[in-house]
Structure 1
């Protein structure tokens, strides 16, 4: 089975505002996003039903749990449903998603990338598998999909340049079998850094601070 990795940028505080909110305490702009999140969760569940996938907890119900500030379902695949529901919250607070790539085994592949970059001297805190599979952030509930997917990763936008620079500095020494994918990651991080830097300097309302990764 192939897995797609996409990414988008958001203000982490905007996403966190929906957790435990029960739809109250949200400003008018955030409240307008609630129906879209529910509609997306319903459509997601319909797709799962069509595929015969049963997580024991529906995505819309998982979404309602997150709004209520709870994650106490004992369904066997509840972590999958909660992760999917959180991704819908992120999507409605984030930029349009961009694709990073499709991989048959992304965890294994980026484990190899980490090993190679580490061998070449890249710091452990900048290795890509760490942020791709590192969860949405320490302020968020801990999510565990039973089979590893869907998954959410994150990288502060303030650190995208440091990661891209570290990879580019060793790019000519990386295993040729890994170079193309690392180059694509570098270009994505460099672009997001430029956009973040430009918007932070020139757009008064801009507050996005996090690059969120979606792995499905």
Structure 2
């Protein structure tokens, strides 16, 4: 089975505003919440079509996050919570894009991490940790991991996109040739997101994005 890595940029505060809100939202946020509920139902309909049962419906997982808890004891509840959490992110994000398709992204980036670390890339800039973080950013509630890893939510502060891209580019020629194309794609994406972040921060009064979120499906 192939897995995709998608990305988008958002402001953490916008996402956090929905978590534990219990519906105490502005008119614009109420509109976004309605869109989230529609997306959650569409996601669940697709799971039902494939006869996939996580023990927790995605719309219910969304309601749990809005209520501020993730206490379902269903075995695969983590998958439903991650799917719902990504829906919240998507409704508060912009500039979505597709990074790549991998047969085993966790295995690929774990290997890349090992090689890059041996070449001197700092541990806090290694790619695996951004795609598969051990925890969400400070202030976010605990979201159980998906039992089968996917779906998963990763993140990287936009302030780290340039340092990470520079570190990867510095060792690119020393990587196994079979991995260089994918890492070059990652570098290009990070550099582009850095440029957009710098431009938005300096030139656009309304711009407030601070985080690059990843969706692994």
- Does TM-score exceed 0.5, indicating one fold? yes
Q: Does 1:127 align with 2:126?
A: yes
Q: 1:97 aligns to what SS in structure 2? A: strand
Q: Does 1:17 align with 2:17?
A: yes
**Aligned residue runs from structure 1 range 14-93, under 5 A:** 14-24=14-24, 26-93=25-92
Q: 1:138 aligns to what SS in structure 2? A: coil
Which residue number in structure 2 is paired with residue 100 of structure 1?
99
Q: Give, in whole Å, the separation in 2 of the partners of 1:80 and 1:40.
A: 15
Q: What whole-Å deviation, never above 9, does each CA across 1:31-80 have from its counterpart, x for those lacking one?
A: 22011000000000000000000001000000001000011111111111
Which residue number in structure 1 is paired with residue 176 of structure 2?
175
Unaligned runs of 5+ in 1: none
Q: Give, in whole Å, the separation in 2 of the partners of 1:105 and 1:59.
A: 25
Superposed displacement of residue 143, structure 1? 2.6
Superposed displacement of residue 199, structure 1? 0.5
**Aligned residue runs from structure 1 range 185-196, under 5 A:** 185-196=186-197
8 A Cα contact 1:79 1:143, kept in partner? yes
Q: Give, in whole Å, the separation in 1 of the partners of 2:144 and 2:93.
A: 20
Unaligned runs of 5+ in 2: none
Superposed displacement of residue 177, structure 1? 1.1
8 A Cα contact 1:136 1:212, kept in partner? no
Q: Give, in whole Å, the separation in 1 of the partners of 2:204 and 2:168.
A: 29
Q: 2:155 aligns to what SS in structure 1? A: strand
Q: Does 1:199 align with 2:200?
A: yes
Q: Give, in whole Å, the separation in 1 of the partners of 2:48 and 2:90.
A: 22
Q: Give, in whole Å, the separation in 2 of the partners of 1:96 and 1:127.
A: 23
8 A Cα contact 2:77 2:144, kept in partner? no
Q: Give, in whole Å, the separation in 1 of the partners of 2:182 and 2:114.
A: 14
Q: Which moved more, 1:178-187 or 1:26-35?
A: 26-35
TM-score, length of structure 1 as denominator length: 0.97
Q: What whole-Å deviation, never above 9, does each CA across 1:85-132 have from its counterpart, x for those lacking one?
A: 000000000014201111111100000110111111100000000111
TM-score, length of structure 2 as denominator length: 0.97
Count of aligned residue pairs for this structure pair: 215
Which residue number in structure 2 is paired with residue 154 of structure 1?
155
Q: 2:93 aligns to what SS in structure 1? A: coil
Superposed displacement of residue 172, structure 1? 1.4
Q: Give, in whole Å, the separation in 2 of the partners of 1:112 and 1:176.
A: 13
